[in-house]
Amino acid sequence: MAVNSTVVLTLILLALMFGAGVTSSVWGFTIGREALQGTTQPDVRPSNNAGSGKPGKTASKDQVSILKEKDILTTVKARVEGRDPEKTAQANTKTEKASSKPAAAKKPAAQNASAKFPLNSRDGGITLEVSAASQRNNSMLLDVSMKNEGSQAVRFLYSFLNVTDDRGRALSATAEDLPSELPPNGQVFYGTVSIPTALLENAKEVSLTLTDYPGQKLQLQISGIPVAK
pLDDT tens digit sequence for 48-107: 554 454 554 444 455 556 667 777 777 777 776 666 656 656 666 666 655 555 444 444
- Residue 20 confidence (pLDDT): 87
* 115 contacts: CB under 8 Å, gap ≥ 6: none
Distances in Å between the alpha carbon of 174 and those of 55, 68, 158, 164? 64, 47, 8, 13
Task: Please state whether the predicted TM-score (pTM) of the whole model is above 0.75.
Answer: no
Residue 191 φ/ψ, nearest 5 degrees: -165, -170
Give the Cα separation of 51 and 121 in Å (integer): 72
Higher pLDDT, 171 or 51: 171
Phi, psi of 36 (to 5 degrees): -95, 10
Whole-number pLDDT of residue 148: 94
Q: Return d(Cα 54, Cα 47) in angstroms, integer.
A: 12
E strand or H helix at 62: helix 57-62
β partners of residue 122: 127
Cα 7 off chain centre by: 94
**What's at 127, amino acid-wise?**
T
The residue type found at 9 is L
Distance CA 107, CA 114 (A): 11
| Cβ atoms of residues 181 and 156 within 8 Å | yes
Which H/E stretch holds residue 22?
Answer: helix 5-35
